[in-house]
A = this chain, B = another copy of it.
Amino acid sequence: MQIEGTSYHTIWFDDNVKEIKIIDQRWLPHQWEIMALTSSDELIEAIRDMAVRGAPLIGVTAAFGVWLICKESANKKSPNLYFEKQILALRAARPTAVNLNWAVNHQLEIIQHGSSWEEKMTTSLAGAKSIKQKEIITCEKIGDWGLEIIQKMYEKKQEPIQILTHCNAGWMACVDWGTATAPIYKAAKAGIPVHVWVDETRPRNQGAAITAWELGNENIPYTIIADNTGGYLMQKGEVDLCIVGSDRTAVNGDVANKIGTYLKALAAKDNHVPFYVALPSSTIDFNMENGMNEIPIEERAAQEVLFIKGKHEDKLLEVQLAPDDAHAKNYAFDVTPARLVTALITERGICKPSKEDILSMYPENR
């Protein structure tokens, strides 16, 4: 998608210098920089500190991370030990997104037959590029399926479709198109008028900072609201549908997503607003029967609640929001039970959030 009129992906391999490049998302929307990830430690830190974030993008970044680890292992005295250690650290960088482990496992599988580190490097780089391409295609397909939903609503309403989204499940969370935003971009390209209610998404404000910036760059009308506001808008009939992303979805249809998603799903149910979750199948944990009980929820630093980043007179800085000795808890995700989800929008189509329907769509995981 576009940033100030130029097309970008969130991550790419720079063939000239043989380096992984990312858009550093930490100071968006005020500042964005292209950053090279030159070591696996740097890459792991970029995931942990959310220079890259969003389940699909974390997966793709981790796939490139395996290439970096192979490359580094080749020069170590105990390459296998180093490799194992770094793979473990990479897996632990973020706990909730299943895409991270999915991508690492996928890479380990394809490199296992490599007879040298050189060979493993070649296959893991090809693997990462292929995962990246697949994520782009997957997101575009999600967009096409989601477009059908918006198209039908528009045929009936004949007025701009009001979409509420939480956090950033946009192209900045993926490689291109996004998950929750893909249907929105597709609708806009199809000439359907849409307007997006963008949940600010405290504590890290990915909505106000990243989703708003993304939509603005694509000229999609949007309005930022405090996370507290969505319920009121639904009561007033100002939301036609909700679309969110997912960091992990269990095979029973329970959806882990950014903290606060559950509250919006409750409000949607209470006001008969359809609540869709857009996700690539790499986000579905086919080994997990029950999301409510089993999905691990990341707890992040209290500082992210007590301080906030912003721009002041063209300087970027962090301000303290609470008393000096304040305590805070910072759970990054919650789990929305399947009963509150209208349907999942995947790359293969739209399905009910139930084991039966999910496995009918992905029979190879039965």
- Residues B329 and A229 in contact, CB atoms below 8 Å apart: yes
CA of A294 to CA of B118, assembled, Å = 72
CA distance A28 to B363 in the complex (A): 57
Chain A residue total in the interface (Cβ 8 A): 61
Whether A208 and B260, one on each chain, are in contact in the complex, defined by CB atoms closer than 8 angstroms, is: no
Shortest distance from the beta carbon of A230 to any chain B beta carbon, whole Å: 7
* CB within 8 Å for A235 and B322 given contacts A202-B202, A263-B228: no
Judge whether B326 and A216 touch: CB under 8 Å: yes
Q: Given the complex, which residues of B lie within 8 Å of A226, measured CB to CB? A: 202-203, 227, 259-260, 305, 330
Within 8 A of B (CB), among A278-314: 292, 297, 305-312
Contact sample, A vs B, 7 pairs, CB 8 Å cutoff: A29-B323, A209-B321, A224-B328, A227-B227, A230-B263, A232-B334, A317-B319
> In the complex, are the beta carbons of A321 and B263 less than 8 A apart?
no
The answer on a CB contact under 8 Å between A212 and B326 is yes
Contact of A308 among B262, B264, B266, B321 (CB under 8 A): B321
Residues of B within 8 A of A328 (CB): 223-225
With CB as the reference atom, state the residue of chain B lying closest to A259.
B228
In the complex with contacts A266-B266, A297-B232, A319-B309 CB distance below 8 A: yes
Q: Report which residue of A202, A223, A259, A306 has the largest number of chain B beta carbons within 10 angstroms of its beta carbon.
A: A202
State A297–B238 Cα separation when bound (angstroms).
15
Is A325 located at the chain interface by the 8 A CB criterion?
yes
Residue A117 at the B interface, CB < 8 A? no
**Lowest 7 CB-CB distances: which A-B pairs, in order?**
A310-B319, A228-B260, A232-B334, A202-B226, A266-B266, A29-B323, A224-B328
- A35 to B223 alpha-carbon distance, docked (Å): 36
Proximity string of chain A (260-275) to chain B, C-beta cutoff 8 Å, 1 when within and 0 when not: 1011101100100000
Which residues of B have CB within 8 Å of A201? 228
B contact residues around A297 at 8 Å (CB): 232
Known contacts A216-B325, A308-B308, A317-B312: A232-B262 contact under CB 8 Å: yes
Tell which of B30, B225, B333 touches A329, judged by Cβ atoms closer than 8 Å.
B225
- Beyond A223-B329, A263-B267, whether A228 also contacts B202 by CB under 8 A is yes
A94 contacts chain B at the CB level, 8 A cutoff: no
Say yes or no: is A173 at the interface (Cβ < 8 Å to chain B).
no
Give Cα distance in the complex from A333 to B225, angstroms.
13
Q: Binary interface profile of A, 191-223, with partner B (CB < 8 Å = 1, else 0)? A: 000000000111101001100110010000011
- Give the distance to chain B from A306, nearest Cβ to Cβ, in Å: 7
Are the CB atoms of B312 and A235 closer together than 8 Å? no
Point out the residues of chain B lying under 8 angstroms from A323, CB to CB: 29, 212-213, 216
| A154 interface hit (Cβ, 8 Å) | no
- Out of B203, B267, B319, name the residue touching A319 (CB < 8 Å): B319
Is A331 in the interface zone, CB < 8 Å from B? yes
> Are B312 and A224 closer than 8 Å at their CB atoms?
no
Task: Provide the residues of chain B in CB contact with A322, threshold 8 Å.
Answer: 29, 208-209, 212, 224
Bound-complex Cα distance A310 to B326 (A):
14
Residues of B within 8 A of A307 (CB): 310
A:132-157 near B, CB below 8 Å: none
Q: Given that A232-B259, A312-B319, A334-B235 are known contacts, is A306 also in contact with B224, CB under 8 Å in the complex?
A: yes
